[in-house]
């Protein structure tokens, strides 16, 4: 009995599909209008942006072009400065090399001098301390020679004397002296 009453009462109520149909129709209409409005607003705003943005982009583009040009100029100047600096360094290095060479004893050898070494290879700085028969090595600019201290030439020995200069001749007063 309750079931039949409930069924009878339910016949008077609207169906669920009918209850949802009206709000669904309003939602569909709103969604359609919103789609169209979004498209129109996007088009309008894009146009406004181009009107406002186009003139303001010109100075930015000009600044970018100037900056690009300045960068190219600075790169060229940097390359020139680098080349100049490397040239200066090369000249300084060459000068330092020549100075180092002038400090080397090899430069002295090229000017006609010689280096004398004892049997151990140590430089001999004086004749004193050398005895007859000591082995020596003499280095010239173009090579080395072996030598032996000869008797009578060792330190303390008689060194050969240079010949004396002849005395000036007297003219007998014919010509005077300037000084």
Q: What does the pLDDT average to over 17-32?
A: 86
- Residue 173, domain member (yes or no): no
Give the pLDDT of residue 139.
92
- Residue 164, domain member (yes or no): no
CB burial readout 35-53, b (16+ within 10 A) else e? eeeeeeeeeeeeeeeeeee
pLDDT tens digit sequence for 128-151: 888 888 999 999 989 999 999 888
Q: What does the pLDDT average to over 95-108?
A: 86
Give the pLDDT of residue 131.
87
Q: Regarding predicted confidence, which is higher, 20 or 118?
A: 118
Give the pLDDT of residue 8.
78
- Domain hosting 23: range is 2-78
Q: Closest Cα to residue 124, out of 147, 101, 150?
A: 147
- Residue 144, domain member (yes or no): yes
Give the pLDDT of residue 156.
53
Give the pLDDT of residue 176.
64
H or E element that contains 28: helix 16-103
CB of 167 closer than 8 Å to CB of 150: no
- Residue 59, domain member (yes or no): yes
Lowest mean pLDDT among 38-42, 70-74, 75-79, 104-108: 104-108
Confidence of residue 122 (pLDDT cuts 50, 70, 90): very high
Q: What does the pLDDT average to over 47-59?
A: 76
What's the number of domains the chain is made of? 2
* Residues 70 and 113 reside in one and the same domain: no
Q: Regarding predicted confidence, which is higher, 87 or 168?
A: 87
Q: Regarding predicted confidence, which is higher, 23 or 81?
A: 81
Q: Regarding predicted confidence, which is higher, 158 or 110?
A: 110
- Residue 71, domain member (yes or no): yes
* Residues 66 and 112 reside in one and the same domain: no
* Residues 18 and 65 reside in one and the same domain: yes
Q: What does the pLDDT average to over 85-104?
A: 92
- Residue 83, domain member (yes or no): no
Query: CA-CA distances (angstroms) from residue 100 to 49, 87, 111, 122, 159?
Result: 73, 20, 16, 22, 37
Q: Regarding predicted confidence, which is higher, 26 or 11?
A: 26
* Residues 67 and 22 reside in one and the same domain: yes
- Residue 99, domain member (yes or no): no
User: Does the pLDDT of residue 19 top 90, yes or no?
Assistant: no
d(CA 153, CA 145): 18
* Residues 7 and 74 reside in one and the same domain: yes
Q: What does the pLDDT average to over 154-158?
A: 52
- Reduce the DSSP state of residue 165 to 3 states and report it: coil
d(CA 107, CA 91): 21
């Amino acid at each position: 009995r309750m079931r039949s009453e409930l069924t009878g009462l339910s016949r008077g109520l609207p169906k669920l599909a009918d209850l949802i149909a009206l709000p669904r129709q309003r939602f569909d209409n709103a969604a359609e209008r919103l789609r169209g409005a979004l498209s129109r607003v996007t088009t309008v705003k894009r146009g406004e942006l181009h009107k406002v943005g186009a003139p303001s982009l010109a100075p930015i583009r000009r600044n970018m072009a100037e900056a690009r040009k300045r960068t190219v100029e600075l790169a060229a100047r940097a390359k020139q400065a680098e080349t100049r600096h490397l040239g200066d360094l090369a000249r300084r290095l060459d000068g330092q090399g020549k100075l180092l060479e002038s400090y080397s004893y090899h430069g002295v050898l090229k000017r006609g001098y010689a280096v004398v070494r004892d049997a151990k290879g140590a430089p001999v700085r004086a004749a004193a301390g050398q005895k007859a028969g000591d082995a020596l090595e003499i280095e010239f600019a173009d090579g080395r020679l072996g030598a032996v201290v000869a008797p009578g030439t060792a330190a303390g020995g008689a060194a050969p004397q240079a010949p004396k200069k002849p005395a000036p001749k007297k003219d007998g007063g014919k010509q005077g002296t300037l000084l």
